[in-house]
Chain A
Amino acid sequence: MGDIVVLLKAALNPEMVRSKPDGTLDQDAIPLKLSDIDRNAVEEAAKLKQKLGGKVIGIMVLTVGPMAKREKDLKMAVQEALAKGVDEAIVVADDRLTPGDQVQTAKIIAEVIRNSGINPSIILASEATIDETTGQIPGRVAAKLGLPYISFARSIEVADGKIIAERDLEEELEKVEAELPVVVSVTQEINQPRPPTLIQIRRAARKPQKRLGADDVKQAIGTKRVILERRIVTINRKQQIIEGSNLEEIADKLIEILEKEGVIKL
């Protein structure tokens, strides 16, 4: 078995969205965390390694600065991946990178894989990240490396240099087969990530980490996407609790309100 590569993201945490008084997004103040489905990708990598051997290499590209503010969150996200099964992490982070530009991110990942002596048998990624949620990076990376790509896998089986995967489509489950090496994007249904043990957490701190910056991935820089505006969505709900002396009265009030709103007709 060659290397098992996992693509990781320290993503903006949607549960801790922050905004400025004028409603624009205060992106610098939003903390980062390891993107949710990345945990499933790491778990699947660890399972593959247990069965087939090989080394699990995590690649993380951070473009959303300011990096001075991000160091702590970045370290936590990398530690979490290392504790859960990644053997070695390569992190590319630099304020000179264009925030969130997917053309650039895919170029960086392909360049890192080509230039870091990695020999991938399988490249695992999540079907989408929690912040931008466009789900395009694994497909881009596959095309750049000229590898076959299996998207939306909700189960995989690897043996004898081959992979059999079940793809989760809108109305069907599609079973596909391919030879390694291959790029696979996984869904949250693929496994239940195990929490790391204390020993795993302690070992994580000693695992190798390589840090790269913009100068190491020069070829990849040259951006296309410009962010014009980001604002929070304001929820303007009435938030009215219907009170009454008993449930009968509350039910009557609710029905009357909904009829008045014109959303039910009895």
Chain B
Amino acid sequence: MKALIVAEYTRDALEGIKAAKTLATGSTILLVFGPASTEAENLSGLVDKVYTLPSRNPEAVYNALRRVYEDEKPDLILGVVSKNVKDSLSRLAGAYDLPMSTEVLEASVEDGSVKYKRGILSERAYSIEKVPMPAIILFNPRIFEPEEARPGGEVVKLDEGDTKVKQIGISKKQLSGVKLEEAEIVVGVGRGFKKKEDLKLAFELAELLGGQVGGSRPIAADFKWLPEDAWIGISGKRISPKLYIAIGISGAPQHMSAVMGSKVIVAVNKDKNAPIFKQADYGVVADLYQFLPILIKKIRERKG
């Protein structure tokens, strides 16, 4: 069997290679583009061949993918979900009528087919499906442990081909740089907070516990009281810390499904009927403005 791994980021390339080696034996080919293309040499010892494309324009990636697909005829095309990977592979899927699945949680290969599991309906349900190969499977990040990079293999440079969509500008987003998905303790803030300055209560609690602060959609995406990368939700970050403390969050499905992987969930809300209490391990029915200062004081006392 032949697997083609497609990656925009180095970490995703390393996870993708691990995925390919876990799923099946056979040859592995890697296509790295954009930021990961600078690491092509360093990764080349892990696979049979590396194709590299400096551009991250998904149209250029699609052009390159078509050529590689024709030349290599892979059975399985693997990757980790990122926006440009999804974009370019959805076009390849359309051009060759290949089945494609994204945000995959687990997969296995058997008799010319690939079987996989993924969340559906805002993660309220999961679906196990089977498609014949060749097929495209994009995993959620952090499903596979990354391989250790190893140089020493063959690297083939690709060119962009003809592109009709041109980049005319790029700007960095205002981000906190905090990796919520890697934090062991996360304090989540919601609309129970009346103004931006009040979030300092949550930051104080998070700091005392060695955790990070994230927010629900209204806080991070609508009011922009927190940077965009601190948004917890299906369209934001999905987190699975040891402890998630949701403060002033009602428990909308788009938020809750993104925190479902948490080991322990604590909810603080003054509305005893808030749906979050049904989805939490421990609930405190209280006004956050009264409860948080007391909780912070108590933790401080115990820490001494």
Chain A residues near B (Cβ < 8 Å): 12, 14-15, 17, 19, 25, 30, 102-103, 106-107, 130-144, 148-152, 164, 167-179, 182, 187-189, 224-233, 235, 237-242, 247-248, 250-252, 254-255, 257-258, 261-264, 266
Q: Indicate whether B100 reaches chain A with its CB closer than 8 angstroms.
A: yes
Chain A residues within an 8 Å CB radius of B284: 241-242, 250, 254
On whether the beta carbons of A144 and B302 are closer than 8 Å, the reply is no
Question: In the bound complex, what is the Cα–Cα distance between A264 and B97 (angstroms)?
Answer: 50
On whether the beta carbons of B243 and A263 are closer than 8 Å, the reply is yes
Chain B residues within an 8 Å CB radius of A251: 291, 294-295, 297-298
20 A-B pairs besides A142-B91, A224-B132 with CB distance below 8 A are: A14-B121, A30-B121, A103-B99, A131-B121, A133-B103, A136-B93, A139-B87, A141-B94, A151-B87, A167-B83, A168-B83, A172-B170, A224-B97, A225-B130, A228-B130, A247-B291, A254-B266, A255-B299, A261-B263, A262-B242
Chain B residues within an 8 Å CB radius of A258: 243, 264, 266, 282
Contact with A along B92-134 (1 / 0, CB 8 A): 1111011111110000000000010001111111111111100
**A139 → chain B, closest Cβ, in Å?**
3
5 pairs of residues in contact across A and B, judged by CB atoms under 8 Å: A131-B120, A226-B131, A237-B281, A241-B277, A241-B282
Question: In the bound complex, what is the Cα–Cα distance between A250 and B266 (angstroms)?
Answer: 13
Chain B residues within an 8 Å CB radius of A225: 99, 129-131
On whether the beta carbons of B282 and A242 are closer than 8 Å, the reply is yes
- Interface-located stretch among B21-29, B148-156, B159-167, B192-200: B159-167
Q: In the complex, what residue of chain A is closest to B66 when comparing beta carbons?
A: A143
State whether A143 and B91 are in contact (beta carbons under 8 Å apart), knowing that A230-B128, A258-B264 are contacts in the complex. yes
Chain A residues within an 8 Å CB radius of B123: 233
Which of B126, B164, B243 lies in contact with A233, CB distance below 8 A? B126
On whether the beta carbons of B283 and A266 are closer than 8 Å, the reply is no
Q: In the complex, what residue of chain A is closest to B101 when comparing beta carbons?
A: A134
Q: Which 3 interchain pairs have the tightest Cβ spacing? A: A139-B90, A140-B94, A143-B94
Chain B residues near A (Cβ < 8 Å): 58-59, 62, 82-84, 86-95, 97-103, 115, 119-132, 164-173, 175, 185, 209, 221, 229, 234-235, 242-243, 253, 260, 263-266, 272, 277-286, 290-291, 294-295, 297-299, 302-303
Which of B93, B102, B121 lies at the interface centre, i.e. has the most chain A CB atoms within 10 A of its CB? Answer: B121
State whether A151 and B83 are in contact (beta carbons under 8 Å apart), knowing that A172-B170, A238-B281 are contacts in the complex. yes
Which of A135, A168, A178 lies in contact with B165, CB distance below 8 A? A178
State whether A248 and B294 are in contact (beta carbons under 8 Å apart), knowing that A134-B102, A169-B83, A239-B277 are contacts in the complex. yes
Which of B129, B171, B235, B295 lies in contact with A254, CB distance below 8 A? B295
**A32 → chain B, closest Cβ, in Å?**
12
On whether the beta carbons of B264 and A226 are closer than 8 Å, the reply is no
**B292 → chain A, closest Cβ, in Å?**
9
Question: In the bound complex, what is the Cα–Cα distance between A173 and B266 (angstroms)?
Answer: 35
On whether the beta carbons of A264 and B209 are closer than 8 Å, the reply is yes
Question: In the bound complex, what is the Cα–Cα distance between A225 and B82 (angstroms)?
Answer: 23
On whether the beta carbons of B173 and A237 are closer than 8 Å, the reply is no
**B133 → chain A, closest Cβ, in Å?**
10
On whether the beta carbons of B170 and A235 are closer than 8 Å, the reply is no
On whether the beta carbons of B283 and A240 are closer than 8 Å, the reply is yes
